Amino acid sequence: MEATGLEFWHLWLIAGAVLLTAEIFMPGFVLAGLGFAAVVASATQYLTGSTGWALAAFSVGALVFFFGIRPFALRTFMDDKPSPFGVNAMLGKRVVISDSPDVGGNLQTLFRDTHWNVESEDDLMEGDEAEIVAVKSTVLVVKRINR
> What are the pLDDT digits (tens) for 121-135?
887 777 888 888 888
Confidence of residue 83 (pLDDT cuts 50, 70, 90): low
Name residue 6's amino acid.
L
11-15, 117-121, 130-134 — which is least confidently predicted?
117-121
Q: Parse the chain into domains and list their residue ranges.
A: 8-77, 86-144
* Among candidate residues 78, 69, 6, 77, the one with its CA nearest the CA of residue 35: 69
> What are the pLDDT digits (tens) for 23-49?
999 877 889 999 999 999 999 999 999
Inform me whether the pLDDT recorded for 119 exceeds 90: no
* Among candidate residues 64, 51, 59, 37, the one with its CA nearest the CA of residue 9: 51
CATH superfamily of 86-144: Nucleic acid-binding proteins (2.40.50.140)
Name residue 57's amino acid.
A
Inform me whether the pLDDT recorded for 115 exceeds 60: yes
DSSP state of 146: P
pLDDT value at position 108? Answer: 81
Contacts of 125 (CB under 8 A, 6+ apart): 97, 100, 101
Q: Distance (Å, rounded) from C-alpha 139 to C-alpha 135?
A: 6
